[in-house]
Amino acid sequence: MNFADALKTLPEFAGEKLVLTDPAGAEVATIANAPGTAGSFRVYAYLAQQYGAIDAEAAAEGLAIFAEHTEDASTHPGKHPNIDRLIAILTTGSPLNARII
């Protein structure tokens, strides 16, 4: 399943942005619910809802949802920062908390 099709299977989430924090509570990133990042917003919101935090298990599912973009991110680090973040979580095991505001 490609990313566009996988995205259609996820629920909609309301909010302006999703704030990601490290285990100590420090903000590490935000993902706007806006054109260009709305798909990532939806994926991260879904993962946070399903898992409670973006941990290694959630990151693995997120990478599967991003489908063809995951391979592109792996070969072009920095091109897809929201996917790079999931790869880092999977690699390090250090989870992130997420909240929609």
The string of pLDDT tens digits covering residues 30-67 is: 999 999 999 999 999 999 999 999 999 999 999 999 99
pTM of this structure? 0.96
What are phi and psi for residue 83, nearest 5 degrees? -80, -40
For the four alpha carbons of 61, 37, 96 and 14, in that order, the dihedral sign comes to negative
Model pLDDT for residues 70-89, shown as the tens digit of each residue: 999 999 999 999 999 999 99
